[in-house]
Structure 1
Amino acid sequence: MSTEKQQNGEQSFADDLVTTASAELPPRFFDRFMFNLHPADATAPSLILGAGAYPPRNVLDGFVVLSTGVEQRNLRFSTDLDDTDGSSIGPLSWQLLEDNERWGLKLGPNPTGLELDIEWHARTPYWLGRVEVENEGDEPTSFEHLFQSGRYSGTMTLDGQDRDVSGWYGQRDRSRGVRTMSGGQGLHIWYQAQFADYCVGFLLVEDRAGGVLVLDGAIMHESGELDYVAEVKHDLTFTDGNDLVSGTVDVTTKTGRHYVIDADARVGGGFMNGGGYDGQHGKQRGKDFEEFDVYPFDGTVSPRTLGSALTDRCARFECDGEVGYGILEFALSRSSSYSYRPSIG
């Protein structure tokens, strides 16, 4: 595995989705965005939405995952890419207002009961890397990966009640290229802890023996500074259903700074299976496909019972006495050959 990192300003990321097929694009090419949205105290409701273009397959798809505190409402939609303008699908539409700085997002009437008319604006520089992974017996993974901390303005309407989302936190994630992971993973963490003046953002993937397959990210400061992550250790607590309860990460940066961060992830929800992360992205489903379902928060749904274990959990963080909020994405392998091992201590 190798990665190439690019400082913000050295090379600007072309933020528009690639929606036109060409001979240069590999057959499994994708270009996706994802935004999360939650109150500054990480209480419900929390929202994750996204869309992806797959020009060689003529597919545009998207999703909405809404956690209300008592249940998770999931909406998935797909259509033929050439039947769209490349900036909307189903009830979801988006507009790039300023490259790497501002996006407009709208969500019209749909079965979740949620509607949006909001704007995301950057509060930190973005982190951008290129991940290269050789996959035995499969096409190599090769994709650009960007994430960036921001805040929102605008209005959310949930079950007929309007709510001003001004000041709410939100992380955006962009990935573009070919992403094929052929197995052997044990632990996956995508960590986005929002504090008043900075965000701790990293991606950590370990194999089933605890070895590091991927580690990338940075402390993204509102001042414009990016301090790259050099090492991450962890001690996480999971239920028997592989759901995260709490945990500690110990982050060391390239400049030698040290962040020990505790997380409380008991709020529930964020099961990304509801957004099609069980291998449904990019599948050809014809024009105007849509499906909706609900996961109750009664213990019957967990990362162990769903088609995908990936979970984007809204969490409360604490670092050196300062409280922050954000998303802690996690997944454990369900292989009998794997059991979680902390690396702290």
Structure 2
Amino acid sequence: MLTSQDDLLGHQTSGTFAQAGNGDPRFTERYWYTAHPVDGTPLLIDIGLGYYPNRGVMDCFAGVTVGRRQHNFRASRQLGHNPLETAVGPLRLEMVEGQQRHRLTLEDNGSGVSFDITFEASFPAAQEKQSFRERKGQVEEDLARVAQLGRYRGWLVVEGQRHLLEPATWWGQRDRSWGIRSEMRTDFAKPPMQQHSNFFWTWSMFQCDSVGVSIFMKEREAGKPYYLSGAEFVRQTDGSVRKREAVSASHDIEWADDPLGQTMARATLQLDFEEGPPRVLQLEPLPIRFYLKGGLYGGFGGWNHGDDRGPYAQAHDVWDLDDALTRERARTLSDHVVRVTTDGLSGMGISEYGVAEGFARYAAPQRFPAL
């Protein structure tokens, strides 16, 4: 299909902008952002937008966890003749300055959540190692990903209260990915559900005033990652930033006695590098989390990422995170706010994690799903 975007530079193939890569319907571009106050106030903002050119769909979510309540907004639109406008209904993303400033707005809607916030980079963006995976000779995933730490300014309205965000007190992170993305199907309302076994994974980002760290690790045996991408950024006295890439990593996690799901109580992560000392991070998870099923990760209520819901569709709900049925449906995948200390510095970040049945090191959390 020909659109007005085809009058612009930037084609990557001999096809039109309406087609990406080789036409695989799994081709996805995604944005993801989180923001949280550094003083431990129980607030967490999660925002995401997905673009599926070969399905003709763009969808989005925005959510806020306040204490033990999670507010979710979800929307979807058909691309039509305006495929590259990063907006779905009341939610809009604006790249004010690439890898520096992004503006995120959610206008008034039925969820009661609205905001106008700007992500401002605090460290350079880190390109993760390509995630390429085959299964039975077929490409299951071929995905590029970029992670970046930042600070936020603007305002948020939730539960009738207006909160001001300032860079000194609201920190966060963003993620940008594109390529063939493996589908996750863990929706009770749309069986069959995928089953996962014998692995540990974590995708985590942390920052202090002068140090930033990102890590993505997957293991089937503790201490032997089959995928590892990690970076450390250290701000120098002259304002420049030194970067090191991790060559190995290890973890030691104590699990909370949470009767409703997998929850870290505390953890130690260590990143090793070709040169210089390791980076050891002590993690203290806080109670505040956003469960990503609220943003359709794995699907929720019969609706999954990339589904064509017609010209426009939206939904919203509020979850009680102490309710057993809600937590069963929300599963494990979440953005969990953590305090971090390293080399006498303190900071904040986000950790996503999970342990699947059969992973030898951590047996206790395996009674709950890893994703």
TM-score band w.r.t. shorter chain = 0.7 to 0.9
CA-CA distance at 1:58 after TM superposition: 0.5
CA distance in 2, matches of 1:176, 1:257: 33
Measured after TM superposition, the shift of residue 332 of structure 1 is: 2.2
Q: CA deviation at 1:299?
A: 5.4
Task: State the partner residue of 2:311.
Answer: 287
> Are the aligned partners of 1:186 and 1:210 in contact in 2 as well (CA < 8 Å)?
no
Aligned partner (choices 33, 36, 56) of residue 34 of structure 2: 36
Secondary structure of the residue aligned to 1:278 is coil
**Which structure has the larger Rg over C-alpha atoms?**
2
Q: Which position in structure 2 is the counterpart of 1:8?
A: none
- The residue number in structure 1 matching 2:190 is none
Matched-pair contact (CA < 8 Å) for 2:71–2:113: no
Taking the aligned partners of 1:185 and 1:282, their CA distance within structure 2 comes to: 28
Q: Is the 8 A contact 2:35 2:171 kept in 1?
A: yes
Q: Which residue of 1 aligns with 2:176?
A: 174
Structure 1 residues 101-110 or 306-315, which shifts more? Answer: 306-315
1:236 aligns with 2:260: no
- What is the alpha-carbon distance in structure 1 between the residues aligned to residue 330 and residue 321 of structure 2? 17
For the 8 Å contact 2:291–2:330, the answer to whether it is kept is no
1-structure distance, mates of 2:17, 2:210: 35
The offset of 1:227, in angstroms, is 1.1
Question: Are residues 339 and 23 of structure 1, via their aligned partners in 2, closer, same or farther at CA, if it must alter by over 3 Å?
Answer: closer
Structure 1: which amino acid aligns with 2:290? Answer: G
Q: Give the TM-score of the pair, scaled to structure 1.
A: 0.85
The whole-number CA distance in structure 1 between the counterparts of 2:267 and 2:325 is 21
- So what's the TM-score if we normalise by structure 2? 0.79
| 1:109 partner SS | coil
1:43 maps to a residue whose letter is T
Question: 5 Å matches for 1:22-171?
Answer: 22=20, 24-82=22-80, 84=82, 86-129=85-128, 130-136=130-136, 138-167=138-167, 168-171=170-173
**Compared with structure 1, are the counterparts of its residues 211 and 294 closer, same or farther at alpha carbon in structure 2 (3 Å cutoff)?**
farther
Structural mapping, 1:199-210, within 5 Å: 199-207=212-220
The equivalences for 1:326-345 within 5 A come to 326-333=349-356, 335=357, 337-341=358-362
Letter in 1 for 2:158: L
Residue identity opposite 1:198 in structure 2? V
Distance change (3 Å), C-alpha of 1:112 and 1:194 = farther
Q: Which runs of 5+ in 1 are unaligned?
A: 1-13
For residues 145 and 185 of structure 1, what CA distance do their matches in structure 2 show? 24
CA-to-aligned-CA distance 1:75-95 (integer Å, 9 cap, x gap): 221121226562210221011
Q: Which amino acid aligns with 2:285?
A: A
Q: What RMSD over aligned residues (CA atoms) do the two structures have, in Å?
A: 2.5
Q: Which residue does 1:5 correspond to in 2?
A: none
Rounded to whole Å, the distance in 1 between the matches of 2:20 and 2:181 is 18
1:195 to partner: Cα distance: 0.7
Q: After the TM superposition, which of the residue ranges 60-69 and 157-166 deviates more from structure 2?
A: 157-166
SS in structure 2 of the partner of residue 38 of structure 1 = strand
Determine the structure 1 residue equivalent to 2:294. 274
Q: Extract unaligned runs of 5+ from structure 2.
A: 1-11, 184-193, 364-371
Identity %: 28
- Residues 172-228 of structure 1: CA deviation (Å, up to 9, x unaligned): 101100122795561121111111112111101112676422110201234332211
What is the rounded CA distance, in whole Å, between the counterparts of 2:221 and 2:110 in structure 1? 39
Flag the 1:82–1:264 CA change in 2: closer, same or farther, 3 A: same
C-alpha contact 1:41 1:325 (8 A) present in aligned 2: no
In the alignment, residue 165 of structure 2 is paired with which amino acid? Answer: V
- Number of aligned pairs? 323
One-letter identity of the residue aligned with 1:224: V
Distance 1:247 1:90 in 2: 40
Deviation string 1:48-106 (CA, Å, 9 cap, x unpaired) is 11101000001101112311012111222112122656221022101111111111110
More displaced stretch, 44-53 vs 292-301 = 292-301
Q: What whole-Å deviation, never above 9, does each CA across 1:227-262 have from its counterpart, x for those lacking one?
A: 111221111122452222221112222333312212
Equivalent position SS for 1:317: strand
Select between 141-150 and 235-244 the one with higher mean Cα deviation: 235-244
Q: Distance in 2 between matches of 1:331 and 1:140?
A: 20
Distance change (3 Å), C-alpha of 1:185 and 1:256: farther
- Decide whether the 8 Å contact of 1:65 with 1:272 is kept in 2: no
